[in-house]
Structure 1
């Protein structure tokens, strides 16, 4: 391949290609002309912009034409002297270019990136390559800069040698010495860019379409491990406070009291018992979770346009939960058995072997229906709340750890509070095997657990552990979403570098 790239015929082709750049239409826009009225697109096909209308009433403006988006451009613009960058591309590609870091130092202030999708503006400006269709497969602009003052063209600079265009400082913004439009590109780079399809537009919020499954899995695994390990002690306290057991029903009066008692009687390390189960299980489970979420959300149209798609988001969250909980449920059972007061298991592996020997495989999935009954609405609420809050706090969909953290934390608190009753039932089903209470030990379904809780403690029993659950959920989901967005941003950056 390298031999082909450097072959003599290819070098001749380059020379021929560059020569084609000098071919011009018969009538090019000239000093004294008005800018033609053509409907261009900005950011999306529905957002129509007519430069002729936009420059009405402006003292001065600059129009820059480039062969394609992502061309080399270095420019300092001002809000008082706007610059319209035009290329024969679709509006999504132009938007991606505008929002990227690939402007080679160009200042975005005062710059607007417009798509001349049909090439009509290039034709009316007289700035097309006559044989660009033969060369590029589609119509292309020349490189040029046009200065417009009071609605009339005062300067036209056409690129004469495909290396650069300079519009003199005095014609742009007197007397400022630094306002310069400079367009430059090497012939080989321009040729390479012309040979490939322009990058498709995508938000970093949705991983790039060609992102590998491994990248999705790694982003999710990173988020899951961070979420569960950081807040594990609070989760352990929540588990103990939710257990319906006469001997421990009034053991703790709050989170601080629980930390104090456990540290004094069992040692602070007890709060971390069983964490290895979470580390082993949360990585794969959350990898499946977020990969499934992104896949389903994309296929249901959740990434289309700038509007919110609550049904697609909620459906994607529900599907992600069903898939991930099937993998995580056994690890969650082991975790909660290890978190119980006076747990006799020496390790996570010992707990797994003992539970399997005494209660069989069924013990690891007895709570699965209840888990789904809790986590499906939890996830649907959380994802919908997160996406809704993100729309408000981060409307431009930029990478912003603070808004991801706030949106994630508030979404987690809302979802945790609303699903606490189901979490209490789930805890009973997952820890029943260690209970000295015969009725609890023989509990085998969501209905059985709910009846026992209601008979013994009334409706308030379903709110056991509400505070620690919310205290655990807020930072956990904040950490989870922030970590996940961080991972997505990393992969997005990697993809941008490749582009």
Structure 2
């Protein structure tokens, strides 16, 4: 009888250990799948809108070659001055940044959402807070590559910077060390809180509406259950990106101004830069300079990002209906 009890206890411990290992590998597998899904989604979205990203940077920081041009004339001027590759200048740095950025952001969002679901007092703010925290986490790890991409994209006929590594070392050597590659970090974080929070919250809210009110039009059945259709994902993503941009665009302008300045020409902080932009150019031509271009850019970018992420999750079998 005693031996039987010992054997049963041993089998119980082995079973518990097996469950623990299975849970670990299941969690690890889920994390890796969300990382890959997010990274692929980010790369697809940014590549889709890379020419618009380039033109937006040139407009925001008032590059002398493009400051007086409109959207269409700006596009033609890029091709005339820099050929077809001009539309994708700085895109290598963007891809090097966006894969880890998007991978971290989407994975962190899923993790934060699970953690914050245990805090019912947050209510509907759960997804807003999860999105904001995910955006901050992703930006913190990948910000130097964002400033490098901005410097490369801002060049027209100049060849001061010759690539990602050269740009990083040049900035650190000439502009004050490691602080140089985090210039503009504060407005980026301040802008990320409303942008990522509103984007994820709006997407999840619209996704819920699609499932509950328009399932026959905007959802589809798969082997893993009901999921958003491509039109549903594109529509939810486009609307969420558009709304998020309106709330955070002025801080995006400030971020670019600070990123593209050097320690010799710019010593202002976030607030002073914001005030200076407003005093010099006002709201329409300063704080919201280039916003019409950004709307054109954001609609396909966020739509593609969320859609590819949904499709990648479906491919990996980890998609779930909205909660």
TM-score by length of 2: 0.80
Partner of 1:474: 299
> Whose helix fraction is larger, Structure 1's or Structure 2's?
2
Deviation at 1:402, TM superposition (A): 1.4
Aligned to 1:235: 53
* 8 Å Cα contact 1:244/1:428 also seen in 2: no
Q: Which has the higher contact order (CA 8 A, sep 6+)?
A: 2
User: Whole-Å Cα distance in 2 between the matches of residues 249 and 268 of structure 1?
Assistant: 16
What does 1:72-221 align with in structure 2 at a 5 Å threshold? 211-221=29-39
1:390 corresponds in structure 2 to: 207
Deviation of 1:236 (Å):
0.6
Alignment partner, residue 90 of structure 2:
274
Alignment-derived partner of residue 240 in structure 2: 411
CA distance in 1, matches of 2:38, 2:58: 28
Give the secondary-structure state (helix, strand or coil) at the position aligned to 1:444. Answer: coil
Asked if structure 2 preserves the Cα contact closer than 8 Å seen for 1:243 and 1:249, the reply is: no
Measure how far apart 1:415 and its partner are: 0.9
Q: CA deviation at 1:354?
A: 1.3
Cα distance, 1:289 vs structure 2? 0.8
Q: Distance in 2 between matches of 1:376 and 1:261?
A: 35
The answer to whether the 8 A contact 2:131-2:196 is kept is: yes
Contact 1:243 1:428 in 2 (8 A): yes
Aligned twin of 1:108? none
* Contact kept? 1:394, 1:403, Cα under 8 Å: no
Query: Is the CA contact 1:221–1:285 (under 8 Å) kept in the aligned structure 2?
Result: yes
Using the alignment, how far apart are the partners of 1:420 and 1:350 within structure 2?
A: 30
Which among 254, 258, 274 is matched to residue 450 of structure 1? 274
Query: Taking structure 1 as the reference length, what is the TM-score of the superposition?
Result: 0.52
Select which of 252, 265, 288 maps to 2:104: 288
Distance 2:111 2:167 in 1: 35
Contact 1:366–1:445 at 8 Å: present in 2 too?
Answer: no
Picking from 281, 300, 320, the partner of 2:134 is 320
Cα distance between partner residues in 2 of 1:350 and 1:290: 30
Q: Is the 8 A contact 1:244 1:453 kept in 2?
A: no
Partner of 2:309: 484
Task: State the partner residue of 1:179.
Answer: none
Gaps spanning 5+ residues in structure 2: where? 1-18, 20-25, 216-225
* In structure 1, C-alpha distance between the alignment counterparts of 2:77 and 2:317, rounded to whole Å: 46
Please give the alpha-carbon distance, in whole angstroms, between the structure 1 residues aligned to 2:191 and 2:46: 18
Q: Between Structure 1 and Structure 2, whose CA radius of gyration is higher?
A: 1
CA distance in 2, matches of 1:481, 1:209: 22
Deviation of 1:448 (Å): 2.1
Match of 1:433 in 2: 262
Alignment of 1:351-430 (within 5 A): 351-359=167-175, 360-395=177-212, 398-430=227-259
Greater percentage in strand? 1
Q: CA distance change for structure 1 residues 299 and 341 in 2, over 3 Å: closer, same or farther?
A: same
Instruction: State the 1:268 CA deviation.
Output: 2.2
Give the superposition deviation at 1:493: 6.7
C-alpha separation between the residues in 1 aligned to 2:154 and 2:237? 29
Aligned to 1:335: 149
